[in-house]
Amino acid sequence: MTDRRRINGPPSGTRPAVFAPSLKSASSISTGRPRRQRQPNELRKIFLKTGLIPSASGSAYLEFEPSASLAASRSSPQSLIPPSSALKLACTVHGPKPLPRSASFSPNLVLTTHIKYAPFAARQRKGHIRDASERDLGVHLETALRGVIVAERWPKSGLDITITILEAEDDRWWGDAPDSHDAPWGMMNVLAGCITAASAAIADARIDCLDLVAGGVAAIVSDEPAEGESSSPKLMLDTDPAEHKSILSACVVAYMPSRDEITEIWLKGDHSKASLGTDDKTLGHEALIDGAVNAARGAHTVLTEAVKESAERFAGLMLGGNTA
């Protein structure tokens, strides 16, 4: 059944372009994998700005700094295949607004979250209708935010949070076979970005929260060993999946630093096999959660700056409105 409300392409469908290097055997192109240039505990820079969408009660735009390989390919383009990608998303908050008449009574603020990838966001073209992974991300975001918002202040009200992902993170390096990584690891980075951006947008909409919640990602990766290094799995913060040969497990948390609380945790992969060195007594998953919390702390500093900026803008608006 074709979608009659949209303009559909050719009825027989189209195929994504096949590039010549991807037809070669995997071993011959494995040298092209981008390498992580950051320290294991170093995060990518985050650009976060609030109030870019004036018709919404609160909004935020978030962008991750392109990794070194992507920045290099942008400044001096050689290949049309991008080595990795950097998250770009826009978040809007509409509300609190009265619930529709048909809705049943709710003593609390009713939170709805929508996450949608733009069709051009990922390496594979996305459909116009939300798929299962997008709904899944929406549910994760909702649980992350539900624990933060003081919901009982707005009975009989609704709050819509909409996130449009303009560019997503890669799930794996393009040169790897599609089945080489079992899980869509890029989703975890996307969720962390969504949590941070949504938190900024909620603060921009001036909705009472317990704290600013920030998202962070940590992963246990095992890379091809460089010279003179052991190939034991390592803990890395804010991993770009394109830069790693295999990610054993990853964890994303939504963390409130001043209360030291986690509102959402999503841990994926097998961390039992990963031993982080003999001197490290902590268990794999504990190290992973600690790493994700540290990453969230880093994102929180950016978040505070953005919210401070939003508050200053609001104060200026109030002042300007009174004198005019």
Partner 1 sequence: MASTAPSLTLPPSQFARLQPHAYLLAHLSPPASSNQPSIRANGRAPAQFRVTSANTGSLTHTNGSAVVRVGDTTAVCGVRAEILPTDDIASWSVSHTSSRTTNKRQKLANSDSEEQQEEEDPNDKSHIQDLNLLVPNLSLSTGCAPGFIPGAPPSALAQSLSHQILNLLHSTRLVRAEDLRVWYQPPSLGGESLERHNAEEQMDVDDEGTGKEDDGEKAEVKAFWVLYIDVMIVSLAGNPFDAAWAAVLAALRDTKLPKASWDVDNEIVVCSDKVSEARKLALRGLPVASSFGVFEADAAAGWRAVIVPDAEEERLIEEGARKGIQRRWVLADPDGYEEGLSQERACVVVDKKQGKTVIVKMEKNGGWALDGQALKEVVEISARRWEEVKSILEQC
Which residues in this chain contact partner 1 in the complex, by CB under 8 A?
5-21, 23, 52-56, 59, 70, 77-82, 85-86, 88, 90-92, 94, 97, 114, 116, 118-123, 125, 128, 130, 160-164, 166-167, 321-322, 324
Take residue 225 and report the two structure tokens written for it: 């060993």
Classify the C-alpha dihedral 175-243-198-112 as positive or negative.
positive
In b/e form, how buried is each residue of 37-58, taking b as 16+ CB within 10 angstroms?
ebeeeebbebebbbbebeebbb
How far apart (Å, rounded) are the C-alpha atoms in residues 191 and 244? 19
How far apart (Å, rounded) are the C-alpha atoms in residues 111 and 162? 11
Question: C-beta of 114: minimal distance to partner 1 in Å?
Answer: 4
Classify the C-alpha dihedral 109-212-51-162 as positive or negative.
negative
How far apart (Å, rounded) are the C-alpha atoms in residues 284 and 270? 9
Take residue 243 and report the two structure tokens written for it: 């830069």
8 vs 37, beta carbon nearer partner 1: 8
Question: C-beta of 272: minimal distance to partner 1 in Å?
Answer: 35
Question: C-beta of 12: minimal distance to partner 1 in Å?
Answer: 4
79 vs 275, beta carbon nearer partner 1: 79
Cβ-based neighbours of 28, under 8 Å, separated by 6 or more: none
How far apart (Å, rounded) are the C-alpha atoms in residues 51 and 134? 25
Take residue 153 and report the two structure tokens written for it: 């202040």
Q: Which residue bears the tokens 């290094």?
A: 229
Take residue 166 and report the two structure tokens written for it: 């303009």
152 vs 318, beta carbon nearer partner 1: 318
Question: C-beta of 243: minimal distance to partner 1 in Å?
Answer: 15
Q: Which of 111, 212, 103 is nearest to 162 (CA)?
A: 111
84 vs 239, beta carbon nearer partner 1: 84
89 vs 151, beta carbon nearer partner 1: 89
Question: C-beta of 175: minimal distance to partner 1 in Å?
Answer: 12
Question: C-beta of 9: minimal distance to partner 1 in Å?
Answer: 4
3 vs 229, beta carbon nearer partner 1: 3
Question: C-beta of 92: minimal distance to partner 1 in Å?
Answer: 3
Task: Tell me if 202 sits within 8 A of 209, measured CB to CB.
Answer: yes
166 vs 283, beta carbon nearer partner 1: 166
